[in-house]
């Protein structure tokens, strides 16, 4: 049986601070995204801000393979990159969509959040993708209440996405979060209502729909990190860290 940690009031306060920094980084980086900016410049802005606020970039140096740890503060994923894009000298261009994922550790606890931004004017299909993906995140958050099942969250995301003709990525999921960046339970973006662990007040989750215009299949680049859509079509990513409550969930990264 999956054991999901329930956080104390004090632990949630510590997470609240990490999540505040996450939200501020996303706003700051979002306002800096424009044609001609290099992704490594955005990464430098984010790292400086996190450290200025007494936090540590959670992704930098993270990974299961000691010989290939993630080298940056942000995951920056453009167009057909689903997640885990590595910032470098790539210049952002008009018409692209750019997903920014950031994790922060402060006071021994983590916050994690993501948003996908439009660069200038984008095609209508991409606009719809961003709208549906963000809506699906909030559909999931609505279900994250004490007494509900975990997969009520998953199912709400999947139903909204598939009704719009898009697909949810199956190979990557959301997660519990707290003292560790990734904790139990895994939070898939697809599933059957009424299944999965029963949610309790004080559980903390990172809910993160990753949504593709085309099929849900993805593949990994040779760098061991960058995940792309299998068919080369665009993908979007939105994420919040939340606390399960008896009523409406509390969004810490808003």
Supply 205's token pair: 């989750």
User: pTM (2 decimals)?
Assistant: 0.97
- Flag whether 4 is in a domain: no
Structural domain contains residue 39: yes
Is 151 among the domain residues? yes
Give the three-class secondary structure for 105: strand
Contact of 145 with 247, CB cutoff 8 Å: yes
In a domain, 67, yes or no: yes
Domain assignment present for residue 3? The answer is no
Count the domains in the chain: 1
Number of neighbouring beta carbons within 10 Å of residue 227: 21
For residue 30, give its domain range: 9-251
Exposure of 43 in the CB half-sphere (CA atoms within 13 A): 23
Q: What pLDDT does 4 receive? A: 87
- Residue 48 located in a structural domain: yes
Question: By C-alpha distance, which of 208, 72, 60 is closest to 144?
Answer: 208
pLDDT > 70 fraction of the chain, expressed in percent and rounded: 100
The whole-number average pLDDT for the span 155-160 is 98
Does an H or E element contain 48, and which?
helix 39-52
In a domain, 143, yes or no: yes
Q: How far apart are CA 246 and CA 138, in angstroms?
A: 17
The first and second tokens of residue 243, run together, are 């606390």
**Cα distances (Å, whole numbers) of residue 237 to 22, 99, 106:** 15, 6, 24
Each residue's pLDDT tens digit, 197-216:
999 999 999 999 999 999 99
pLDDT tier, 129 (very low <50, low <70, confident <90, very high otherwise): very high
CATH of the domain at 158: 3.90.230.10
104, part of any domain? yes
């Amino acid at each position: 049986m999956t054991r999901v940690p329930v956080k104390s009031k004090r632990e949630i306060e510590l997470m609240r601070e990490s999540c505040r920094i996450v939200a501020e980084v996303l706003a700051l980086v979002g306002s800096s995204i424009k044609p001609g900016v290099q992704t490594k410049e955005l990464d430098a802005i984010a790292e400086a801000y996190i450290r200025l606020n007494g936090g540590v970039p959670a992704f930098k140096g993270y990974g299961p393979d000691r010989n290939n740890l993630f080298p940056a503060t942000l995951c920056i994923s453009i167009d057909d990159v689903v997640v885990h894009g590595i910032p470098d000298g790539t210049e952002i261009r008009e018409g692209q969509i750019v997903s920014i994922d950031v994790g922060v550790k402060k006071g021994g606890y983590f916050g994690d959040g993501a948003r996908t931004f439009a660069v200038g004017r984008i095609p209508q299909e991409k606009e719809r993708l961003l709208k549906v993906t963000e809506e699906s995140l909030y559909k999931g958050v609505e279900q994250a209440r004490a007494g509900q099942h975990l997969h009520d969250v998953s199912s709400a995301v999947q139903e909204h996405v598939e009704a719009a003709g898009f697909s949810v990525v199956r190979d990557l999921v959301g997660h519990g979060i707290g003292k560790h960046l990734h904790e139990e339970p895994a939070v898939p973006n697809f599933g059957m209502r009424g299944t999965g662990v029963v949610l309790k007040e004080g559980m903390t989750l990172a809910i993160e729909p990753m949504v593709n215009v085309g099929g849900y299949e993805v593949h990994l680049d040779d760098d061991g990190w960058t995940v792309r859509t299998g068919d080369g079509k665009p993908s979007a990513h939105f994420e919040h860290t939340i606390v399960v409550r008896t009523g409406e969930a509390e969004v810490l990264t808003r």
